[in-house]
Homo-oligomer: A and B are copies of this chain.
Amino acid sequence: MAPKAVVGRVSLYLRQLEAYQHQGCTTVSSSQLGQPLAIKNAQVRKDLAFFGQFGHPGIGYRIDELIDALRHILGIDREWPLALVGMGNLGRALLKYRGFRARGFQVVALFDNDPEKIGQDYDGLVVEPIESLRKTLAPRQISLALLCVPAEAAQRVADLLVASGIRGILNFAPLPLVVPAHVSLVAVDLSIQLENLAYKVQKTSGEVSCAG
């Protein structure tokens, strides 16, 4: 399996290729692909070589071809139905998040344990009780879940998701979860992104002070 950082860059390459395609381009070099992303062309070539041989001598990459290949590699040349567990503010925000549907991810089932939320209708989806997870997920072949319950409930609900046959969990609760090896887990820790921003701002301020 490719390292997470490589897969993350492949997602970025795919977005950049789609932008070029949208502009009417048909081929692209590794430099042109990396430049808007601030990724060096050697890194672009190395990342893509991890998955196969995509370049054509004297031409570079054929954009349509590389888009198809990268979508296949990422596993997004298909639709992924999603279960969304936890209909608080974050869950409701994710339900409306337009970035998912554009990439083939679609929330098709909602769950909560709050009696006031169960039975509510969001764009045609009715919130089901947590106890219905197993009954709902298996026959509908839903293998991915967005977990947006409060931290103190996250591990318990993750266990229920695993018991219901889920294969991958995107965890928004700010704590690590334990899942069996056959279940994949990606944690969205927003404070890490904010720390990265603080680091950059601090560094940039230092440089500005020195220059001034």
Contacts and interface: CB of A to CB of B under 8 A. Distances in A.
A5 interface: yes
Given A88-B93, A167-B204, A202-B75, A194 B105 contact: yes
B193 A94 contact: no
Interface of A is mostly: helix
Interface stretch (A20-28, A58-66, A95-103): A95-103
A74 B151 contact: no
A148 B106 CA distance: 21
A39 to B, nearest CB: 10
Copies in the complex: 2
- How extensive is the interface on chain A, given as a class? 35 or more
B90 A200 contact: no
A185 to B, nearest CB: 8
Contacts of A93: 88-90, 92-93
Given A167-B201, A186-B200, 18 more contacts: A2-B199, A7-B195, A8-B192, A11-B196, A75-B201, A75-B202, A88-B93, A89-B93, A90-B90, A97-B174, A98-B151, A99-B174, A100-B191, A144-B201, A170-B190, A184-B200, A184-B204, A186-B196
The 4 residue pairs across chains A and B that have the minimum distance between CB atoms:
A99-B174, A75-B202, A89-B93, A90-B93
Interface of A: 1-2, 4-5, 7-8, 11-12, 73-76, 80, 88-90, 92-94, 96-100, 102-103, 105, 143-144, 151, 167-170, 174, 182-186, 188-205, 208
26 contacts: A5-B5, A7-B196, A7-B199, A11-B192, A12-B192, A73-B199, A74-B195, A74-B199, A75-B201, A80-B198, A89-B89, A89-B90, A89-B92, A89-B96, A99-B189, A103-B191, A105-B191, A144-B194, A144-B197, A168-B198, A170-B194, A182-B204, A184-B201, A184-B204, A186-B193, A186-B194
